[in-house]
Structure 1
């Protein structure tokens, strides 16, 4: 039986219980906009974001990227934004209240994750989940040497690595 994640933080001395999660409030592309641009070009809610510009419109949805923790029941969760094509975005919006099991889309992870530096965007499959849960991000596998986040999503991380990332996220992010 898997354990529940808990650790004594080396930064604050508190006991943190439950698998950690880090969520991004908006895609990086939206973060880069100033207030005037956000008002004129952007639209954001807790689950959807669009940015209209001269070249077209960018479409984003909130999703979760799971990294298993060895011997722990719940994974480390990253709440990320993923860009989709217009067609995929519209399909997701249309079925949002009544999701279709097995539905999925291609997308790009649109948040830099400092614990996992990477140049560029990460390609992913976005898998719709039932029960009011956000879609799950499954990163595309490439050369495992290229992206430690892909390796960790596939193989999981140690409890000590999860603690290291959590301490960074809680106190330095």
Structure 2
């Protein structure tokens, strides 16, 4: 599908953005800005707060109905220290695709959904160089239904408008 006229800003967007994301886990913002350099270790894919809260960047993929397209959210999930260390250990290992999924709690507020913080997830490692995939497992959350059943192009536009303009 090509472009849309945004109901929020009135502009014609030639392309529909299909991926949005968060640079940091939500928990990152609970640390005062003047303390972050001392208390947080952050790379593009991993984040540790106070050496006791462990997060990994991953992707929620939502199929678009009657299409081969995926709408994506780049998000952060918490991991246990054991799974966090394992994910780091396997970062460049081609065999990491054989790892069992890691349980985590979603740590990204996703626009267009009721509360997404701390919903249950499974993090599936992918081939080296590909961001892990998140499977939502929180019962009765709208995000799990959309991930399993897909969304329409109209819903894609609605989510894009919300992500772009709040």
Instruction: Work out whether the TM-score is over 0.5.
Output: yes
Structure 2 residue 9 is matched with structure 1 residue 13: no
- The superposition leaves residues 143-168 of structure 1 with CA deviations (integer Å, 9 ceiling, x where unpaired) of xxx31111100101111111111122
C-alpha RMSD of the superposition: 1.6
Task: Point out where structure 2 has 5 or more consecutive residues left out of the alignment.
Answer: none
1:92 aligns to what? 87
SS in 2 for 1:110: coil
The answer to whether the Cα contact below 8 Å between 1:127 and 1:135 also exists between their aligned partners in 2 is yes
- The superposition leaves residues 118-139 of structure 1 with CA deviations (integer Å, 9 ceiling, x where unpaired) of 2651101100000410110001
2:34 aligns to what? 36
Of residues 100, 105, 109, the one that matches 2:102 is 105
C-alpha distance in 2 between matches for 1:6 and 1:136: 26
Q: TM-score, normalised by structure 1?
A: 0.86
The answer to whether the Cα contact below 8 Å between 1:66 and 1:78 also exists between their aligned partners in 2 is yes
Q: TM-score, normalised by structure 2?
A: 0.90
C-alpha distance in 1 between matches for 2:35 and 2:90: 29
Q: What's the offset of the Cα at 1:6?
A: 2.5
Structural mapping, 1:62-141, within 5 Å? 62-99=57-94, 100-103=96-99, 104-118=101-115, 120-141=117-138
Task: Point out where structure 1 has 5 or more consecutive residues left out of the alignment.
Answer: none
